[in-house]
Amino acid sequence: MQRRSKDTISLAILQTTEALAEKYGIEKISMHQIAQTAGIGQGTMYRRFVNKGALCMELMHEKFHLLSEHVAQIVKQPNTVEEKLIAILEEHVHFLECHVSFIETIHDAATCEGKKQTFYESQPYQLLHQIIRRLLEEAITTKKIKPIQTDFTAHTWIASINPKIYLYLRKEKRYSEQDVVAYFIQSFINPLFIK
């Protein structure tokens, strides 16, 4: 059989996945199905993407990049730390709203046990975490908020709106995207900032 280049194969996989995900939803399709549809073997599939999470991660690469650019923009603006944090929150929640299934898939695949990279060590997560942490630190040094453990706080902030709970709040509890943002500000951001 004619051998294709690495890139050709990756591209074929990614395009096939995108098409199938569009049609059936990413959570409904299997690695096997993708491989078969793309006309490659199971082994080739897994050599390129260790699991569905990694595949989704690559599929989302573009979008993550866009998100991080937005966030970088926000940080550059001449606003208060509080305003920046709120803007990032809005951006983050909206991103979740648009791509829950994909993010959930990535989340699920990256188990803590297997030493394959955890979700928390992925570049997009680290980036978001770092930016929140830095803003919190800035808020502390400028006496806008009382000292807190910023690393911990950034992690738990992100965890508090993880894909699973977000879906529950949206679908079962019927909160809107805007509700989630507003309540988060009310409960987590406002109280920190001493008025």
Partner DNA sequence: TTGACAAGCGGACAACTGTCCAGTATTATT
Partner DNA sequence: AATAATACTGGACAGTTGTCCGCTTGTCAA
| 169 in contact with its own copies (CB under 8 A) | yes
Which residues within the stretch 34-73 sit at the binding site for its own copies (CB under 8 A)? none
Two structure tokens written together for 161: 């709106």
Which CB, 9 or 110, lies closer to its own copies?
A: 110
Residue with tokens 């006496």: 143
Q: Among 19, 33, 137, 192, indicate the residue that binds DNA (CB under 7 A).
A: 33
85 class by beta-carbon count within 10 Å (0-12 exposed, 13-18 middle, 19+ buried): buried
Confirm or reject binding of residue 23 to DNA (CB under 7 A): no
Of 19, 37, 44, 177, the residue at the interface with DNA (CB under 7 A) is 44
Which positions from 69 through 108 interact with DNA, judged by CB under 7 A?
A: none
Check binding of 11 to its own copies (CB under 8 A).
no
Separation CA 114–CA 99 (nearest Å):
25
Please name which of 44, 32, 30, 37 lies closest in space to residue 15, comparing C-alpha atoms: 37
- Separation between Cα atoms, residue 151 and residue 126, nearest integer Å: 11
Please report how close the Cβ of residue 188 comes to DNA at its closest, in angstroms.
34
Burial class (CB in 10 A: 0-12, 13-18, 19+), 26: buried
**Interaction with its own copies in 104-143: which residues (CB under 8 A)?**
108, 112-113, 118-121
| Residue 2, contacted partner among its own copies, DNA, none, CB below 5-8 A by kind | DNA
For the chain, how many residues are written? Answer: 195
Q: Which of 42, 77, 149, 178 binds its own copies (CB under 8 A)?
A: 149
Task: Provide φ and ψ at 145, rounded to 5°.
Answer: -135, 160
Supply the Cα-derived Rg of the chain in whole angstroms: 19
Residues that bind its own copies (CB under 8 A): 27, 108, 112-113, 118-121, 145-146, 148-149, 151-153, 155-157, 159-162, 164-165, 167-169, 171-173, 175, 179-180, 183-184, 186-188, 190-192
Site for DNA, rule CB under 7 A:
1-4, 6, 9, 30-33, 39-44, 46-47, 50-52, 109
